[in-house]
Amino acid sequence: MSLSIDYIRSLFPVLHQIVHGKPLIYLDNAATNQKPKQVIDRIVQYYSTENANVHRGVHYLSAISTEAMENTRKNVQEFINAASDEEIIFTKGTTESINLLAHSFGKAFIGKGDEVIVSGLEHHANFVPWQQLCQEKGAVLKVIPIQPDGDLDLEAFEKMLNSRTKIVNVNQVSNAIGTVNPIDKIIGISHKQGIPVHIDGAQAVSHFAIDVQKMDCDFYTFSGHKMYGPMGIGIFYGKKEFLEKMPPYQTGGEMIDFVSAEEVTYNQLPYKFEAGTPNVGGILGLDEAIRFMKNMGIDRIAEHEKMLMNYALEQLETIESVKIIGQPKQRAGAISLALNGIHHYDAATILDQLGIAVRSGHHCAQPVMRYFGVDGTIRLSFAIYNTQEEIDTFVHALQRVIGMFR
C-alpha cells in the first residue's frame, strides 16, 4: 500500500499550525515525536467511556479497561517479539525502566568489587543510575570509549570484560549523534562470558523493527512518546529467568500477593513490578501507536527516514561553517551539528522564530559532548511525516543564521 506524505501529515493535527508567522517545521523528534489523531482519539475515548481502575473491580468499566490494558501487553509482546507477555512491564518511560533495572538487578546480583559497564554514548538515564548503584554498592563503573568517528571501541570493550562484570548497558541508537551501535556484536561478546546485556531502545524503537529474541538481549527499555504514543508510558522488557530472581522496585498495591503484620509475598510476573494504579490511558494510547506504526509499515518508516538522513547530510556538508558531530558507520534518527563561532542556543532561538523546531544543548549526554570538545549542539531529528522540502527550508534558514553572525 502506497501512502502519500500529504496523507501521512494529515494524520497529525499539531503539524498544521503557524508558529511565529511561519508554518511549523518540527525536527525535534528525538526528544519526542508528534501523535497521530488515532492515538489522541484513543486516549479521549478511554477517559470518556471506559475510565476505571483495572484488575481490582468486577464491574463493567473495570473489566473492559483491564481487558484493553492486558491486550496491549500482548501487543507489545508481539511488537518486540518477547517470549511471553509476563516479560512486559509497564513503566512511566525509559528512565523509570532503567532505574527499575538498576535498583532491582543491582539488589539481586551486584556486590562490592563487582563491575558494571556502560558506553560513552549513553543518555544520562542509562549512565547515572548505574553510576549511583556502583557508588552505593562499592562496585566499579567502566565506560566503553568512543572513537573519533562516533562509533564505540569494541576492542577496548572486549578487554574490559572479566569475571567481575555483572551487566553491560548500551543504547541501540545514540540520542546525541545518531550512532547505531553494533548491538549484535556487543551482546555476542558479552554472552560468551555469561554476562547479561541491557539495551536502551528509546531512540531505536521508532526507526527499526525490534526482535528481542533474535537480538538475544536480556533487557530492553523504551518509551511510548518516542514512537508516536503518549508521554508517561514506557516498557521494561526482561527475560523471565532474571525477572523471577529480581526483587520489586516499588511496593504498594497490585504487586502484593499476601500481606500481614509479619510477612509479605509478592504477586506473579509481570505485576510484581507494577505497584500502584497504572497509566491506563497512556497504555491504550501506546497500543494505538503500535497499530499506527504497523499500518505505516516499520520498513517504510525506516526507508523514508534513511532518505531524509542522507539528503540532510548531503545538504549540510556543503555549508562551510557547519561541523557535523561524528561520522559513524551507521546513523539513524538524528544529526548533531556545531556552527563555527555561533552558540547553539542562539542559533536554535533564531530558527524557532523562523518556525523551525530543533533541539539545542547537550541532549542529556554530557560525556559525548565533552569527548567531541563542544558544550552542546543543534540537533535535528526525523520522523515519518518530515519531508525533503522541510530540510531545504531548514538549510536555507541555517544559512541565514550564519549570515547574521558574520
Model confidence over 255-297: pLDDT tens digits?
666 677 777 777 788 999 999 999 999 999 999 999 999 999 9
Q: For CA atoms 246, 251, 255, 260, give the dihedral sign.
A: positive
Q: For CA atoms 44, 50, 52, 53, give the dihedral sign.
A: negative
Mean pLDDT across the chain, nearest whole number? Answer: 95
Same domain for 305 and 283? Answer: no
Same domain for 78 and 153? Answer: yes
Please report the pLDDT score of residue 105 as a whole number.
98
Same domain for 207 and 137? Answer: yes
Full DSSP string of 80-101: HT-S-GGGEEEESSHHHHHHHH
- 3-state SS string over 331-400? ECCEEEEEECCECHHHHHHHHHHCCEECEEECCCCHHHHHHCCCCCEEEEECCCCCCHHHHHHHHHHHHH
- List active site positions: 364
Same domain for 157 and 66? Answer: yes
Q: How far is CA 243 from CA 104, 209, 248, 272, in A?
A: 9, 24, 9, 9
Same domain for 10 and 67? Answer: no
Dihedral pair phi/psi, residue 99, rounded to 5°: -65, -40
Same domain for 320 and 283? Answer: no
260 CB-side CA count, 13 A: 2
Please report the pLDDT score of residue 231 as a whole number.
98
Give the pTM.
0.96
Same domain for 56 and 132? Answer: yes
Q: Which of 268, 294, 320 is the last residue of a domain?
A: 294
Same domain for 214 and 331? Answer: no
Please report the pLDDT score of residue 267 as a whole number.
73
Same domain for 21 and 46? Answer: no
Please report the pLDDT score of residue 264 as a whole number.
72
Number of domains in the chain: 2
CATH code of the domain covering residue 182: 3.40.640.10
Same domain for 52 and 155? Answer: yes
Please report the pLDDT score of residue 2 as a whole number.
65
Domain, as residue range, for 388: 5-27+297-404
User: CA-to-CA distance for 337 and 176, rounded, in angstroms?
Assistant: 10
Please report the pLDDT score of residue 56 as a whole number.
75
Any idea what DSSP says for residue 265?
A: E
User: CA-to-CA distance for 19 and 297, rounded, in angstroms?
Assistant: 30
Low-confidence ranges of the chain (pLDDT < 50): 1
Question: Is 34 among the domain residues?
Answer: no
